[in-house]
Amino acid sequence: MATKKNIYVEGLNEIPAPMRKVEIVERKGIGHPDSVSDALAEEVSKALCRMYKKEFGHVLHHNTDETQIAAGSAKPKFGGGTIIDPVYILLVGRATTHAGEGKNLKDLPCKPTALKAAHDYLDKTFPNLDVDSEVILDAKLGMGSDDLTGVYKASGHLANDTSFGVGYAPYSITDKLVLKTEEYINGPMKKKLPETGQDVKVMASRVDDKITMTIACAMVDKHIPDAAHYQSAIEEMYDLVTDNALKIIGKEKVKFKLDINTGDNYKRGVYYLTCTGLSQEMGDDGSVGRGNRCNGLITPYRPMSMEATSGKNPITHIGKIYNVMSKLIADDVAKKVTNEAEIRVRLLSQIGKPVSQPLNASVQIVLPDATSNPKLSKWTGEAEAIAADWLDNVDKVSDMIVEGKVRTF
């Protein structure tokens, strides 16, 4: 049944992903070049939002979702290597660079705002990176096209793209393991193992009740005097990550296997060694939108949007708002309506139409016997109400994004 907001709630007779034989989940950690691109795009957007609010009291049109990272060159070695060529980072996007007319025309400091936001994030997040000497930061932020800025300036929140957002809930045990493992490695574990860098990729493969996790972690050469210390650090990381994983698994009936830096070959002297803990120092480029979705994961066994969430403006850009909102709706339905099913949400817009009035708001309640489940009618009404409430509160979603209360990668 469609409501005035075009909300369609249906039961879907299908085996939820966590109940299937095979599941694959990936997360690119905060130091992966694609994640760095995502983070910088989002930090620039948030900084512009703050600047616009300070100058005009509200957010002006911008999209900064095209950040590019071109890898540098380095010579890591045990005990500490050398950066040969700095990483080049280009902050690309559209922004409102001036506002007003005639004597009231006001030029806005978009590029300085962007460069400072990017510099501050890199300096705060990556302790082994000397931002001033090992990174070249550049910004190309031009005025947006008349049609899109015109949509933005129109009264109310009008979508500036015909696009869709996707979300699902709840997380499976595989999802939780991948997300929380990366957060652990790049969080509490750093105090015990400073040898580990921030460029971490976590991949999990579940077959039936067996989860095999593969971790690639850039190691920091200045903290590792020799090959023996490297091997010892990997072994300690193995124990710490395994202990943390078992805490996450708890009473779940799954078996856990861990592999770390499988590309290493100790006999041939091959080690994942870096100067900065980031592979972008040599060999790996990065782009916005090529990594994690806004739930923090890459999930080929779940519905996903190809849209880059980071860097898009949080007021009218559907590629951001609907991806974030889809996850929020799915989370609420899974939490408040039923934890028995997999919840899938897809929101579709039309350019120039109100963000609160999607062309199609689909909520699917996925169970093997969903359509014959006696609770489906109750679930349908409750899920519809949750979706409608979030759509009625677009401002709340925008505020959460600007304030950094939701993840975008």
Residue 392 identity (one-letter amino acid): D
CA distances from 403 to 46, 47, 121, 397 (A): 8, 10, 15, 10
| Angle at the Cα of 383 from the Cα atoms of 319 and 381, rounded to 5 degrees | 140
In this structure, are residues 217 and 200 in contact, taking their beta carbons and an 8 Å threshold? yes
Q: Please report which residue ranges of 186-312 form alpha helices under DSSP H.
A: 189-192, 227-249
β-pair type (22-28, 196-207): antiparallel
| Angle at the Cα of 195 from the Cα atoms of 194 and 200, rounded to 5 degrees | 95
Q: Quote the pLDDT of residue 1.
A: 44
Residue 107 identity (one-letter amino acid): D
CA distance 171 to 162: 28
Instruction: Report DSSP state, residue 270.
Output: B
Q: Quote the pLDDT of residue 2.
A: 46
Mean pLDDT, consecutive 10-residue segments, the chain of 409 residues? 80 97 98 98 97 93 96 98 98 92 87 98 98 98 66 69 96 98 98 98 98 98 98 98 97 96 97 98 95 97 95 95 98 95 97 96 98 96 97 95 95
CA distance 82 to 370: 59
CA distance 249 to 228: 32
CA distance 372 to 314: 40
In this structure, are residues 200 and 32 in contact, taking their beta carbons and an 8 Å threshold? yes
In this structure, are residues 281 and 260 in contact, taking their beta carbons and an 8 Å threshold? no
Quickly count: other Cβ atoms within 10 Å of residue 267's Cβ: 6
Q: Please report which residue ranges of 193-298 form alpha helices under DSSP H.
A: 227-249
CA distance 58 to 52: 6
pTM: 0.94
Q: Terminus-to-terminus CA distance in the chain, angstroms?
A: 33
DSSP sequence for 33-81: HHHHHHHHHHHHHHHHHHHHHHHHSSPPPEE----EEE--EEE--TT--
Quickly count: other Cβ atoms within 10 Å of residue 354's Cβ: 17
**What crossing angle do the helices spanning 394-402 and 376-392 adopt, rounded to 10°?**
70
